[in-house]
């Protein structure tokens, strides 16, 4: 078995993942801010998650966007005020919950901004081969699988 732990945390692959994630988030947030888009990156990401998880409740949404309940509540309120999502009453485990659904306006936002984001990503990573990107994705999925089963995050 190969020794994976580095002598110093900041020399480890874990720190490299953390650093790369932070840089990627910063670049993406700057892209949304500098292009005067109608939504922030976190709002865009939230819309996409609601689209792909229609009927998600707010607690589950918080887990999917890696935000606490208060931040998620403010985000949902903002998107609802912008008429990009709607809340509907439903039951989950015999409890009344509000489920989240994307509106046509929210879908329209995704349809306009997704190609812009894809172009930005393609430009950003143009020096990295498609094969290397695919290998990296597979490796990150393996790493995520290794740690996701043992980590629980309270939100």
Fold for 9-148, please state it: Arc Repressor Mutant, subunit A (1.10.10)
DSSP string across 113-124: HHHHHHHHHHHH
- Per-residue confidence (pLDDT) for residue 148, from 0 to 100: 82
Give residue-wise pLDDT tens across range 51-109.
999 999 999 999 999 999 999 999 999 999 999 999 998 887 888 889 999 999 999 99
Confidence of residue 154 (pLDDT cuts 50, 70, 90): low
Q: How much is the average pLDDT of 41-52?
A: 97
| Predicted confidence (pLDDT) at residue 1 exceeds the cutoff of 50 | no
**Dihedral sign (CA 96, 102, 103, 106):** positive
The confidence score (pLDDT) of residue 96 equals 87
Antiparallel, parallel or unpaired: β 56-57 and 85-92: unpaired
What's residue 44's pLDDT?
97
Cα-Cα end-to-end distance for the chain: 35
Q: What does the pLDDT read at residue 153?
A: 60
Please say if the pLDDT value at position 34 is more than 50: yes
Residue 88: the pLDDT is: 94
CA distances to 10, 20, 59 from 7, rounded to whole Å, are 9, 20, 38
pTM of the model: 0.84
Mean per-residue pLDDT over the chain, rounded: 91
Model confidence at 124: pLDDT above 80: yes
Look at residue 155 in the predicted model and tell me its pLDDT: 46
Check residue 22 and give its pLDDT.
95
What residues does each domain of the chain span? 9-148
CA distance 2 to 47: 41
């Amino acid at each position: 078995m190969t020794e994976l732990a580095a002598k110093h945390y900041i020399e480890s692959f874990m720190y490299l993942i953390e650093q790369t994630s932070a840089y990627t988030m910063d670049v993406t947030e700057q892209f949304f801010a500098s292009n005067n888009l109608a939504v922030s990156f976190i709002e865009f990401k939230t819309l996409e998650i609601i689209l792909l998880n229609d009927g998600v409740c707010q607690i589950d949404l918080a887990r999917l966007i890696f935000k606490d309940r208060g931040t998620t509540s403010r985000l949902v309120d903002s998107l609802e005020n912008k008429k990009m999502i709607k809340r509907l009453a439903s039951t989950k485990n015999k409890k009344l919950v509000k489920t989240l659904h994307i509106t046509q306006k929210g879908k329209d936002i995704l349809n306009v901004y997704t190609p812009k984001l894809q172009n930005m990503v393609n430009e950003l990573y143009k020096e990295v081969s498609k094969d290397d990107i695919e290998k990296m994705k597979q490796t990150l999925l393996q790493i995520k699988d290794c740690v996701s089963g043992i980590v629980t995050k309270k939100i």
